[in-house]
Structure 1
Amino acid sequence: MKDRKSAILGKPFPAHPTRREIDLPGCRPLPPGDDAPALVRQIMANPNYRLADADADFLDRDVMRGARLQLDYQKAETLLRDHGIAHSIVVFGGTRVTEPERAAATLAALEAESARHPEDADLQRRLRVARRLNDKSRYYDIAREFGRIVGAAEGEHGNRLAIVTGGGPGIMEAANRGAVEAGARTVGLNITLPHEQLPNPYVTPDLCFRFRYFALRKLHFLLRARALVVFPGGFGTFDELFETLTLIQTRKIQPVPVILVGRDYWARAFDADFLVEEGVIDPEDRALFWYAETAQEIWEDIQRWYARAGRALIGTPTHTEGGAMP
């Protein structure tokens, strides 16, 4: 009745959104005995027939670097937004700074081996390094405690503030671990390296991202950053520290607290007062960071900085506030 009425009025019903009454020519079965099916299968199996976004070999070509850069940015950005991660406290530090028990065990083993081979100069050097790393293992506990403090604050602020690290071992592991122990979510921004770095087990699985490009990883470290807390570390730690200080110095990003944990280590590794005296930075640049020694001191310093700046540690995220780059 409806079809008849439709035909009478000359106004057909809407087409089905997916189904057809008659298959289009390209969908019809081929005649028996025809060689075409084998040829069609060969065509469809060819890598060039793959959808562009499903063709990993094509995406790996040099000419696709622009697309890869966009994907490296967009995946993490989209998923962080989906999970409501609005603000972050970024923690950097050495991968070789392990928890005290592990550092003590390594030192004990080297001491025993050194006693058996006192003439081995390389072994004596490794022993000296192990003693220093054992001394620095206290920073693992400080980072872990700081992660717990921020993790507890995350709950107070509606899960909008998160510890963010590079997702690797050492100090990064400690900060992620402390946040998890406080029942909070925690973020890891890992990087693809020729010698693969596995993520530490304390990063929230839904919030562990792996980047191809250091530049995009650095961008995501700072887009939501409300503070940068830097523990003793090596080249990678210095890289992130100096880049952040440069961005703040030039006001490419709004200033955020930058706290170096462990004055004894940093004053020897990085003499900012010397740079001021040499005239290569200004006194106000020296004031862009300071030192702290305990987890509680770090947290109180961050809160005090925001109170003095007249800004909220937790607020509405924008792309021009709280460390975000335009």
Structure 2
Amino acid sequence: MKDDPAKRFFRKAREDVAAFFGAPETDQTRSAAYRIAYDDLDFMLRDELRPVRLQLELLKPEILMEEHHVDSTIVLFGGARIRPPEEAAQAPTPEMAAMSKYYEEARQFARMMTERSLERSGGRHDIIVTGGGPGVMEAGNRGAADAGGKSIGLNIVLPHEQAPNKYVTPELCFNFHYFGIRKMHFLMRARAIAIFPGGFGTMDELFEALTLIQTGRMEQVPFLLFGREFWKTVINFEELARVGTISREDLDLFRVVETAQEAVAAIDSWQSVGNRRGAVPER
């Protein structure tokens, strides 16, 4: 929110922080107790301040995305270990080398969606968002950059910390401590979700998003799984429906695709399960 001098009645917080450093050097002013609370890092990192830190992690990306006119997003999830085609020969196994095709499909899909975003909304809608790291995440941000558009990276602090990939728009490159808040930002603006082959993290995001949609906690959006053979092999969705742990209609919550072109066509022709059932239509 921009500052309006005509509506200012009190000193700004930044001004008081600056004034602190001009105070006389005494035992009292040197004490940590004297520091303004929000400018005291040791205080802000106390366990008792966890609720405040959770709120800050929710607010900071929210405010900055609003300032950069991010009205809706296209979410890309997928494996960090999938290499670009030019690096496929360095993969540890032939199977991982073959996965490089999904890097290229993610890049093309992100490029196509970003081109449409720029044409239809000036880059305000359907902005690519990834986890900001390597592999499929890099491919998504790279595709958006290929199209000349912006993209978002939602990084997370991990023991094996990796730097954000170089294709994320710097002003939209965020870092999180709390997984839960990061997950919220992935889905709060999502107008479509694309899941590429990946590991535990990808599976976590896949089932969490599907559960939110299945239970009606999240609006139904186009939900795409890239790679027919991969998903057929690693998850037996048909068996879940056969034994009754999910309903057969739940299989319609997502669609399996192979290429970027097929994915875009699926988004354009998407019809929610709710509409098929005669339930409340999409907003």
TM-score by length of 2: 0.85
Deviations 1:62-114 (A, max 9, x none): 1111001100000011111111100100000000001012121x15xxxxxxx
CA distance in 1: counterparts of 2:252 and 2:204, whole angstroms: 19
Q: What is the aligned counterpart of 1:90 among 57, 75, 79?
A: 75
CA distance in 2: counterparts of 1:307 and 1:278, whole angstroms: 24
Q: What is the aligned counterpart of 1:145 among 108, 116, 134?
A: 108
Q: What is the aligned counterpart of 1:208 among 173, 179, 187?
A: 173
Instruction: Give the letter for the 2:65 counterpart.
Output: L
| Aligned residue number for residue 314 of structure 1 | none
| Aligned residue number for residue 160 of structure 2 | 195
| Aligned residue number for residue 279 of structure 1 | 244
Count the aligned residue pairs: 255
CA distance in 1: counterparts of 2:244 and 2:100, whole angstroms: 35
Q: Is the 8 A contact 2:132 2:164 kept in 1?
A: yes
1:300 offset after TM fit, Å? Answer: 1.2
Where does the alignment leave 5 or more consecutive residues of structure 2 unmatched? Answer: 1-8, 11-18, 276-281
* Pairing 1:221–2:186 present: yes
| Aligned residue number for residue 53 of structure 1 | 38
* Pairing 1:66–2:34 present: no
CA distance in 2: counterparts of 1:308 and 1:288, whole angstroms: 6
Deviates further, 95-104 or 192-201:
192-201
1:271 offset after TM fit, Å? Answer: 0.8
| Aligned residue number for residue 160 of structure 1 | 124
CA distance in 2: counterparts of 1:190 and 1:304, whole angstroms: 32
- % identical equivalent positions: 49
Instruction: Report which of the two structures shows the higher radius of gyration computed on alpha carbons.
Output: 1
SS of residue paired to 2:28: helix
CA distance in 2: counterparts of 1:294 and 1:195, whole angstroms: 32
CA distance in 2: counterparts of 1:49 and 1:132, whole angstroms: 60
Alpha-carbon spacing, 1:93–1:299, altered in 2? closer, same or farther (3 Å) = same
1:195 offset after TM fit, Å? Answer: 2.2
CA distance in 1: counterparts of 2:266 and 2:168, whole angstroms: 25
Alpha-carbon spacing, 1:45–1:103, altered in 2? closer, same or farther (3 Å) = farther
SS of residue paired to 2:168: coil
Q: Please tell me the root mean square deviation across aligned C-alpha atoms, in Å.
A: 2.0
Deviations 1:124-173 (A, max 9, x none): xx5xxx21111010111111111110110121122112000011100000
Where does the alignment leave 5 or more consecutive residues of structure 1 unmatched? Answer: 1-16, 19-26, 28-36, 108-125, 311-320
| Aligned residue number for residue 213 of structure 2 | 248
1:56 offset after TM fit, Å? Answer: 1.6
Q: Is the 8 A contact 2:103 2:139 kept in 1?
A: yes
TM-score by length of 1: 0.74
Q: How does 1:14-53 map to 2 (within 5 A)?
A: 38=25, 40=26, 42-53=27-38
Alpha-carbon spacing, 1:275–1:307, altered in 2? closer, same or farther (3 Å) = closer
Deviates further, 46-55 or 220-229:
46-55
SS of residue paired to 1:287: helix
* Pairing 1:292–2:277 present: no
1:308 offset after TM fit, Å? Answer: 9.9
CA distance in 2: counterparts of 1:223 and 1:281, whole angstroms: 25
CA distance in 1: counterparts of 2:207 and 2:195, whole angstroms: 11
* Pairing 1:304–2:277 present: no
Q: Is the 8 A contact 1:191 1:197 kept in 2?
A: no
SS of residue paired to 1:193: coil
| Aligned residue number for residue 267 of structure 1 | 232
CA distance in 1: counterparts of 2:249 and 2:272, whole angstroms: 20
CA distance in 1: counterparts of 2:264 and 2:30, whole angstroms: 57
Instruction: Give the letter for the 1:155 counterpart.
Output: L
CA distance in 1: counterparts of 2:274 and 2:169, whole angstroms: 32
SS of residue paired to 1:256: coil
